[in-house]
Amino acid sequence: MTNNLWPAIPLDEWKETYETLHMWTQIVGKIRLKLTPLINHWWNVTLHVTARGLATPVMNYNDQLLQMSFDFVDHLLLIETDDGRSKSISLRSRSVADFYQEVMAALVSLDMPLTIWSTPSEVPNPIPFEQDHNHAAYDQEYAKRFWLILAQANRVFTEFRSRFIGKASPVQFFWGGFDLAVTRFSGRTAPPHPGTPYGARFVDIEAYSHEVSSCGFWPGGSPVNEPVFYAYAYPEPQGFKDYLTNPPEAFYHADMGEFLLPYEVVRTAKSPDDVLLSFLQSTYEAASICGKWDRSALERQDAVDAINTN
């Protein structure tokens, strides 16, 4: 049962599919960026986990409604409007350029022509979508496994989020970094972010305008060649990286400035939920205790009592 809920997803076995799917989600994400007003920390551009994959919330195109959904059960991108019209695009081994052209043509056919910034974000050596014939792999089995992991992580992250009464983000999928994340806020502003590799600094300044304790799931990549759960704080308080976290397999990655927990540790645990929640809770405590957050004002007391009891 554990293996069904938390399937194996070795990075080297689906890396090419991962890279292609990353670009496809960026295309849909940039459409969302085009059609939505800025919400703090870029929450307007994210995708959300559904019962069949990943989807945008409803978007507005002039006086029409539009939604786009990745279906990893039937392996389709569904484009739906409020007047009953829809288009479906097959998810199969095909180039990013081919997928991009079909998506944009589908929008034209629905009387929703758009122009988006077609250069990928947050990746080294980006290739504009219309020119990208390098990424063209799609393995249905691994795409489905990735979604199944996101679905389980979404469930546990939501449980973790429910313990907090301060400002917290939705559980959401960031197509730039290709990760599912949830973030808690101390309520205090943060110093301007110095920026991250492969990204525009103004994006990071908006994302990290306030102090955060953030955690998520990432399928991996340089410098970590395996899927991991992660947790970090910005700004990182003194003592954070040396804080004793759980489970014992969790560790602080100095180059990334984050605590990491290999996905395989969670997947193979007797109780994956308990192991993952212990990681989320202990890394939050590292951020909030070392950062001197006002925890009594930010946390649900019944949740704190339950944690202490366990």
Q: What is the pLDDT of residues 42-60, one digit of tens each?
A: 999 999 999 999 999 999 9
Q: How far apart are CA 87 and CA 80, in angstroms?
A: 7
Domain end call among 131, 155, 185: 131
Whether residue 132 contacts residue 95, with contact meaning beta carbons closer than 8 Å, is answered with yes
Answer yes or no: do 191 and 305 share one domain: yes
How far is CA 192 from each of CA 177, 184, 205, 243, rounded to the nearest angstrom? 20, 18, 6, 25
DSSP state of 22: H
Quick one: average pLDDT of 66-72? Answer: 98
Answer yes or no: do 232 and 93 share one domain: no
How far is CA 287 from each of CA 167, 250, 254, 298, rounded to the nearest angstrom? 15, 15, 16, 13
Count helices and strands in the chain by DSSP H and E runs: 9, 12
Q: How many domains does the chain have?
A: 2
Neighbouring residues of 301: CB distance < 8 A, sequence distance ≥ 6? none
Look at residue 2 and tell me whether its pLDDT is greater than 50. no
Answer yes or no: do 151 and 258 share one domain: yes
Q: At what angle do helices 272-290 and 140-161 cross, to 10 degrees?
A: 50
Look at residue 3 and tell me whether its pLDDT is greater than 70. no
pLDDT of residue 310: 62
Range of the structural domain that residue 287 is part of: 140-309
Token readout for 154 is 């979404």
Look at residue 1 and tell me whether its pLDDT is greater than 60. no
Look at residue 279 and tell me whether its pLDDT is greater than 60. yes
pLDDT in tens, 16-46: 999 999 999 999 999 999 999 999 999 999 9
Neighbouring residues of 201: CB distance < 8 A, sequence distance ≥ 6? 193, 194, 195
In the structure, what pLDDT confidence band is assigned to residue 166 with cuts at 50, 70 and 90?
very high
220 vs 302, residue with greater confidence: 220
Quick one: average pLDDT of 169-198? Answer: 97
Answer yes or no: do 40 and 144 share one domain: no
Q: How far apart are CA 224 and CA 11, in angstroms?
A: 10
Whether residue 122 contacts residue 29, with contact meaning beta carbons closer than 8 Å, is answered with no
Average per-residue pLDDT for the chain: 96
Answer yes or no: do 108 and 179 share one domain: no
Answer yes or no: do 295 and 178 share one domain: yes
DSSP state of 9: -
Answer yes or no: do 101 and 146 share one domain: no
300 vs 310, residue with greater confidence: 300
β-bridge partners, 79: 68, 87
Look at residue 171 and tell me whether its pLDDT is greater than 60. yes
pLDDT in tens, 85-104: 999 999 999 999 999 999 99
Answer yes or no: do 219 and 254 share one domain: yes
Look at residue 170 and tell me whether its pLDDT is greater than 70. yes
Quick one: average pLDDT of 266-290? Answer: 98
pLDDT of residue 30: 98
Answer yes or no: do 280 and 183 share one domain: yes
Answer yes or no: do 151 and 116 share one domain: no
H or E stretch covering 178: none
182: three-class secondary structure by DSSP: strand
In the structure, what pLDDT confidence band is assigned to residue 301 with cuts at 50, 70 and 90?
confident
Answer yes or no: do 235 and 274 share one domain: yes
Quick one: average pLDDT of 280-295? Answer: 98
Q: How far apart are CA 284 and CA 233, in angstroms?
A: 8
Domain end call among 97, 131, 165: 131
Look at residue 213 and tell me whether its pLDDT is greater than 70. yes
Quick one: average pLDDT of 99-124? Answer: 97
Cis peptide, bond prior to residue 191, ω within 30 of zero: no
Nearest alpha carbon to residue 122 among 31, 192, 30, 39: 30
pLDDT of residue 211: 98
Answer yes or no: do 170 and 289 share one domain: yes
Domain end call among 131, 153, 182: 131
